[in-house]
Amino acid sequence: MDKKILCGLTVEEIFTLIEPGGFQNRHAVLIANAIYKKSISSITDFPKIPKVLIKFLDEIAIVGLYSPFASEISSDKTVKYLFTSTDGKYFETVYMPDSRRNTVCVSTQSGCRMGCPFCATGEYGFHGNLTAGDIINQVLSIQEAGSVNHVVFMGMGEPMDNLKNIMKACKVLTSEWGLTISAGNVTVSTVGKTPGVKFFLENSECNLTLSLFSPFSEERAGVIPAEKRYPAAEILEIMRYSPNMKKRRLSMAYVMMKGVNDSERHLDGLKKMLKGSGIRINLLPYHPVKGNVNVSSSAEKMQHFKHELVTSGISASVRKSRGADISAACGLLAAGMINYKTCN
Ligand code: SF4
């Protein structure tokens, strides 16, 4: 019999697993605490748990925590990790320290099937969904795990294409019995699959950000093929009228490329699109991908966009570039697999 992997299970699922042995819900909470709060990788080391339960659990389950096999550190202290799942799928994780805000950027798939042409992950192809356990493991098994207080789903893959595992991972991250990270500190990033976005907004309190790239549908479709089926304008409407709209952060991510989407026409389009919506916009520098001749818009241009948007009543910010010297575009680690130090 294949043993069940505990990491990634909700407390209800753990209880279902141990109930046939006559154990109670409080035991399931202790097991969840041992994995998610203490990162204990062996069942026999779980504290405060009756020996009889340890024996029962050890026969039917494993914890399922595993370490990254490579890492690379940037001059700004950003660290990229490369993992390989138990079934051989490569994926990457990025840790970004920033005074009191320490963020882990997790992958949701190995590769991606959305086919965005400027993206290294898209080029890598699709190699499978990650489980909720693979996602949670990225937060628990990096060296800096103890200092993490923000999680963003912005690594490899399209989260809405792996919705079941995303929902479960969000629950484990934010629950009292789990990692106890505030839902306001968890952000899922999507290029937009309307049914998934709707479900996520109705069933989670976490933040959502939509990758926009252009306010013009035809132009966006050239860079984000999902636009043809799931237009950003339609997703924006769903975001505007979603439950808990005022309690959570809903935003657009706008990666700026010089001469491509940083004209006054684009600025006007953004103003028209976002004015009165209550959705904020984050302006991001573009990290060039091998084989793509485009470069990032200048810092001055990005500040100009921000100033114009803010004075039009739209909440806007410029995000600084992180990890630019270590292949910071998503997917470059697994796609290129170069310049690593092997993790100890
Ligand atoms: S940009 Fe995101 S959705 Fe598009 S191919 Fe890359 S990882 Fe997938």
Where residue 116 falls among pLDDT bands split at 50, 70, 90?
Answer: confident
- Give pLDDT, residue 322: 66
Band of pLDDT at residue 333, cut at 50, 70 and 90: very low
Q: How far is the CA of 190 from the centre of ligand 1 (A)?
A: 8
- Cα(118) to ligand 1 centroid in Å equals 9
Residue 220 Cα to ligand 1 middle (Å)? 13
Q: With cut-offs at 50, 70 and 90, classify the pLDDT of residue 86.
A: confident
- Confidence (pLDDT) at 230: 97
In which band, very low, low, confident or very high, does the pLDDT at 319 lie, cut at 50, 70 and 90? confident
Tell me the average pLDDT across 88-106. 92
Per-residue pLDDT averaged across 62-67, rounded?
97
Question: Sorting pLDDT into bands at 50, 70 and 90, what band is 336?
Answer: very low
Whether the pLDDT of residue 338 is over 70: the answer is no
C-alpha distance from residue 305 to each of 133, 140, 150, 238, 282 (Å):
40, 38, 27, 25, 10
If one residue of 113, 119, 154 were mutated to test the ligand 1 pocket, choosing by the most ligand atoms within 8 A of its CB, it would be: 119
312, pLDDT greater than 80 = yes
Ligand 1 neighbours (beta carbon < 6 A): 112, 114, 116, 119, 121-122, 156-158, 191, 330
DSSP E strand boundaries for the chain: 4-5, 61-62, 70-73, 79-84, 90-96, 103-105, 109-111, 126-129, 150-153, 186-190, 207-211, 250-256, 280-285, 316-318, 341-342
Residue 255 CA, ligand 1 centroid: distance in Å: 13
- Asked whether the predicted pLDDT for residue 137 surpasses 50, the reply is yes
Average pLDDT of the segment spanning 242-266: 91
pLDDT at 325: 56
Read off the pLDDT of residues 6-17 as tens digits, 9 standing for 90 and up.
999 999 999 999
Give me the mean pLDDT over the 164-189 stretch: 97
| Confidence bin at 87 (pLDDT 50/70/90) | confident
Helix, coil or strand: residue 136:
helix
Instruction: Report which protein residue has its CA nearest ligand 1's atom 5.
Output: 122
Which of 105, 106, 114 has most ligand 1 atoms within 8 Å of CB, for mutation?
114
Question: pLDDT category, 138, cuts 50, 70, 90?
Answer: very high
Mutate to test the pocket of ligand 1, among 94, 109, 112 (most ligand atoms within 8 A of CB): 112
Residue 8 CA to ligand 1 centre (angstroms)? 24
Positions annotated as catalytic residues are 92, 330
pLDDT over 70, % of the chain: 93
Q: Which atom of ligand 1 is nearest to the CA of 120?
A: 6
Q: How far apart are CA 194 and CA 263, in angstroms?
A: 28
- pLDDT score of 120: 80
pLDDT for position 320:
75
For the residues 221-235, what does the mean pLDDT come to? Answer: 95
Query: What would the mean pLDDT of 74-102 be, rounded to a whole number?
Result: 91
For residue 77, give every residue at least 6 positions away whose Cβ sits within 8 Å of its Cβ, in sequence order, or none: 97
Q: What is the pLDDT of residue 334?
A: 44
Residue length of the chain: 344
